Amino acid sequence: MAPITAIASLDDAMEAIRVATAIGLTVVAPQGTVVYSAFLYATGEGHNVPLGVFSSREAAQARVSEYIVSEWFSEEYMPWADRSYGEDPTDDPDTYITMMEEWVRNSTPEQVLEICSRSFSDVGYDITAMKVG
């Protein structure tokens, strides 16, 4: 990170704060700034998973996507793959999981979100912009 010696622009200001937080200084977000709160929910179950507060909508979407892939898939699909193994000899869970991992690796977060929201109606997400009071 390049050191900031003077605050000549708002970009400088953002960078200075990034540097300060990166070296461990405690910096509180200024009043009036905007953050993005994200959570995932299982449709119809009233169950939601808060995913935290993010500095940009893109960062929030990336976390939602990552959670769907790494946490939700592993909870929902991996046990299912384990259960299915042996019941249907043509359904190889390793192949299935590998294909899924490749698909995830080759997709953008936006594609993951779009495809998941179309394919799996039992999971949804919400990203809310909030102003710091």
Nearer to other proteins, 52 or 79 (CB): 52
Smallest gap from residue 71 Cβ to other proteins (A): 15
Read off the amino acid at residue 127.
Answer: I
Nearer to other proteins, 17 or 81 (CB): 17
Nearest to 66 by CA among 55, 80, 79, 52: 52
Nearer to other proteins, 66 or 92 (CB): 66
Please state, in angstroms and rounded to a whole number, the distance separating the CA atoms of residues 93 and 78.
8
Site of interaction with other proteins (CB under 8 A)? 3-8, 10, 12-14, 16-35, 37, 52-56, 59, 63, 130-133
Smallest gap from residue 97 Cβ to other proteins (A): 28
Nearer to other proteins, 17 or 97 (CB): 17
Q: What is the dihedral of CA 105, 111, 116, 118, to 10 degrees?
A: -150
Nearest to 63 by CA among 112, 97, 102, 105: 112
